[in-house]
Amino acid sequence: MAKMASALESAGYVVLNVHYPSRRATVETLAETVITEALADPKLATVTNIHFVTHSLGGILVRQYLKSNDLARLGRVVMLGPPNQGSEVVDKLGDCVLFEKIHGPSGNQLGTGTNAVPTRLGAVDFELGVIAGDRSINWINSLTMITGRDDGKVSVQRTKIAGMKDHIVIHTAHPFIMRNKEAISKTVCFLRAGTFRSSERQN
């Protein structure tokens, strides 16, 4: 997320580029510990609105946190390639020992079933913009596990979530979407205006 963080700083935002141990805990634990700690950072003490820009699992952590916590200073949220309706890849490979070793307990929570975390969290009630990718470098996933256009990890359709304010698709793959120039410019646009289709500033 370094390139994204640098662009947001250049656009005038106070930025925390938060790293977290995604393979070591559940979605619920990561959401509470990582986001709570980030919000306590002194850099945010005088910030009026706190926006979130996330990649993949990070979007689910934000949904989980905001479902359980009130954030009076919440601004806007941009999610890049989020499995908002889960991923078929987890459905297919979640029981594999190697998959669990690579992705940890949180990865196994991101299936498409009714008991999966993305499903249980339901609709969002905050200003959300979602950027999906439609280019894959993981043809095994795309050809054998995922339905429809996808970024190699999650389908375009499954990035969507009820209550979102805007959604766009760009031609990039899941591992690279956060460094994509169009994704970065559209992220800044949404944080400023609440839409990907206008650069007009809104209060």
pLDDT digits over 46-74, tens only? 999 999 999 999 999 999 999 999 999 99
pLDDT at residue 88, as a whole number:
93
Distance (Å, rounded) from C-alpha 193 to C-alpha 199? 6
pTM of the model: 0.92
Query: For the sheet containing 50-55, what is the strand order?
Result: 50-55, 74-80, 127-133, 166-170
pLDDT at residue 184, as a whole number:
98
Mean pLDDT estimate for the chain = 93
pLDDT at residue 106, as a whole number:
87
Distance (Å, rounded) from C-alpha 42 to C-alpha 201? 27
Read off the pLDDT of each residue in 145-171 and give the average, rounded to a whole number.
Answer: 97
Between residues 151 and 105, which one has the greater pLDDT?
Answer: 151
Contact 145, 92 (CB under 8 A): yes
pLDDT at residue 18, as a whole number:
96
Q: Indicate the residue type of 97.
A: V
Helix (H), strand (E) at residue 200: none
- Res 201 pLDDT > 70: no
Q: Which pLDDT tens digit goes with each residue over 106-137?
A: 888 999 999 999 999 999 999 999 999 999 99
- Res 199 pLDDT > 60: no
For residue 177, how far is the Cα from the chain centroid? 11
pLDDT at residue 202, as a whole number:
42
Superfamily of domain 2-193: Alpha/Beta hydrolase fold, catalytic domain (3.40.50.1820)
pLDDT at residue 121, as a whole number:
97
What are the residue boundaries of the structural domains of the chain, listed by start? 2-193
Distance (Å, rounded) from C-alpha 155 to C-alpha 146? 6
Distance (Å, rounded) from C-alpha 195 to C-alpha 1? 21
Read off the pLDDT of each residue in 185-203 and give the average, rounded to a whole number.
Answer: 81
Read off the pLDDT of each residue in 177-194 and give the average, rounded to a whole number.
Answer: 98
Read off the pLDDT of each residue in 22-51 and give the average, rounded to a whole number.
Answer: 95
